[in-house]
């Protein structure tokens, strides 16, 4: 059966669940990575995918009858990757402006890469 897996880093995988163990480690077959940007999405083929259980946020079965009833528009891999890059650049620019505004007010924001992930 086809399953959707949401990972801790925000990626979405769709594939056929072949194996699972007591630690929620997964093996997915014919996996695609689905990237969403706005009302568009694109699928990147990934093949066999092994996911460590601690990275799984959500695992759910896909209803194949309702899978095609989506308001989203499927686009090519190149187009969705370009839109994702543009969205990330806009997010970075917005973050820079926010940090600059906080600095002007005398506040200091710790960088995300210096924070402990746990």
Residue-wise pLDDT for 67-76, tens only, equals 777 788 888 8
Rounded distance between C-alpha atoms, residue 39 and residue 115, angstroms: 32
- Confidence at 93, pLDDT banded by 50, 70, 90: very high
> Which pair of tokens denotes residue 116?
């402990």
Q: What is the CATH number of domain 1-103?
A: 2.30.30.100
Is the model's pLDDT at 116 over the cut of 80?
A: no
Structure pTM?
Answer: 0.74
Average pLDDT of the chain is 87
N-term to C-term CA, the chain: 33
Q: How far is CA 99 from CA 5, 84, 85, 89, 94, in A?
A: 33, 23, 21, 15, 9
Beta bridge partners of 42: 35
Least confident of 29-43, 48-62, 102-116: 102-116
């Amino acid at each position: 059966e086809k399953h959707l897996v949401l990972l801790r880093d925000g990626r979405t995988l769709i594939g056929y669940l072949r194996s699972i163990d007591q630690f929620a480690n997964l093996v997915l077959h014919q996996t695609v990575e689905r990237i969403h940007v706005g009302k568009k999405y694109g699928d990147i083929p990934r093949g066999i995918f092994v996911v460590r259980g601690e990275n799984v946020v959500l695992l759910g079965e896909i209803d194949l009858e309702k899978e095609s009833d989506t308001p989203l528009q499927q686009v090519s891999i190149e187009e969705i990757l370009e839109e994702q890059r543009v969205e990330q650049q806009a997010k970075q620019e917005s973050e820079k402006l926010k940090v600059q505004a906080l600095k002007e007010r005398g506040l200091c924001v710790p960088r995300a890469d210096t924070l402990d992930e746990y």
